Chains A and B, each alone.
Chain A
């Protein structure tokens, strides 16, 4: 499933949705729900090649180019991490590589999940973002 709209528009929608919850618990419950709703990655793609390192949980992301756009699938064995993967996919998947490379992901801050970006969290959100962008960067020429 791919959402419509630009990266900015999609991020804006997410911020609005999280804005409905005024405490951290509501926000996390919603994040967990989003994680649960993300289709699992087919086991045959859960390989070393798709593994994102630097995570306490296991995380896999599988990027693909189609018609000049980058599509991502992903998964994690921890639900909060999977929720974060789902948010990134929702914002970035189906976008032109150039846009992905340049995307600022400030929305994570606005929904109260920014501390997951710090490397000490060991959930690998930072390395995840880097991997997503690196793949896009490698394909900026083909857009």
Chain B
């Protein structure tokens, strides 16, 4: 079957990948004299012109510090900055603005939760439950917390298909679990975890849940109220926005009791050497001059995502994933790592005994950008007893032709290294 096969007929109406592609200037560039086939979106996505323009416009004519000046520029910057927060609130269906904190990204969000909320809940002899498929960002902060609190991190095992073994999760929950930290979508396997059900079970046991949403936010509509998660962290740069900005959603009830994480300007109400009183959330957790420009760029990225339509994007990406899965599975010796029923458009694989590094090097020379290695999930690699994988991850601007290019590239790798 080729790129014009039946699957393409399923592309939702009015969704034209070629048109979407044109909005991303970086996709027009060449590498080694070949057209760039960018399949490393799970690491970071490219940026549409609108996001780039937003940054330029801000720095060209709108820049000023926020929350500080009485002058017009500062008021305008503050308004835009806070309007962007409203944008995010709607995007994830958060109940209120103070529950949406700006961070540097997912990693910082999880660290904030671990540092500020962690010690309130996790004490000596307690357990922080994670899963075996977590990114290091959702393991190490909890290990650091457990180290200082005298607690332990335990991992929910993962099946051969790359899914949470649910009975094991339930069994582990009955231990002294005081917190669950779990990925919405696995960056290595693509698995979409059954979050809603897991959160309900955790809450039944009085266990709050921190969600690593880094890989979910680019691919699906996030509704934090429907999930009922306690925390939800994600990164702008994986969803067509700028680097250096992300969100930590946190339930108001937690933010009220959580101590500030970093001290400085903006997070205070009054400062005296005898006693300082803190500002209210979200500002209590946003010390110092924030990343104003990238907040505005992020709001543009959200406009872009919602403009194209998140459901349409999801449907198209599912078609790409199905097509890529089919094309790669046809190739003898290709072994897919992560074959969950519910998957986002992430495809990890190995080609016979070929080392992922070798495969990635040849694919790179063919103009195909994939990620190779352990993808910051070393425990998961050990679980599957593999040194790493080759990972192709698709975004809305990828095409069926690019999937064909990947399949042809994999065949070439086999010829050269098999």
Contact = CB atoms under 8 A, between A and B. Distances in A.
Residue picked from B32, B356, B361, B387, most chain A C-beta under 10 Å: B361
B416 A58 contact: no
A59 to B, nearest CB: 10
Contacts of A78: 355, 357-358
A78 B387 CA distance: 10
B32 A79 contact: no
Nearest to B372: A56
Contacts of B357: 56-57, 78, 80-81, 122-123
Contact of A122 (B32, B362, B373, B387): B373
A77 B417 contact: no
Interface string A17-28: 000000011001
B416 A29 contact: yes
Interface residues of A, number: 15
A122 B360 CA distance: 12
Interface string A80-93: 11000000000000
B201 interface: no
Contact of B387 (A58, A79, A80): A58
A122 B356 CA distance: 12
Given A56-B372, A56-B373, A56-B388, A24 B32 contact: yes
Contact of A79 (B358, B372, B373, B388): B358
A57 B355 contact: yes
Contacts of A81: 355, 357-358
A29 B388 CA distance: 23
A32 interface: yes
A77 B354 CA distance: 9
Contact of A56 (B356, B362, B416): B356
Interface in B88-110: none
Given A28-B365, A56-B357, A77 B416 contact: no
A81 B357 CA distance: 9
Contacts of A56: 356-357, 372-373, 388
A32 B416 contact: yes
Contacts of A123: 357, 361
Contacts of A80: 357-358, 361
Contacts of A29: 416
Interface in A25-84: 25, 28-29, 32, 56-58, 77-81
B188 to A, nearest CB: 15
Contacts of B416: 25, 28-29, 32
B373 A32 contact: no
Nearest to A78: B355
A25 B357 CA distance: 16
A50 B354 CA distance: 23
Residue picked from A78, A79, A80, A81, most chain B C-beta under 10 Å: A78
A56 to B, nearest CB: 5
Nearest to B355: A78
A24 B357 CA distance: 17
A94 B124 CA distance: 58
Given A56-B356, A58-B387, 9 more contacts: A24-B365, A28-B365, A29-B416, A32-B416, A57-B357, A77-B355, A80-B358, A81-B358, A123-B357
12 contacts: A24-B365, A25-B365, A29-B416, A57-B387, A78-B358, A79-B354, A79-B355, A81-B357, A81-B358, A122-B357, A123-B357, A123-B361
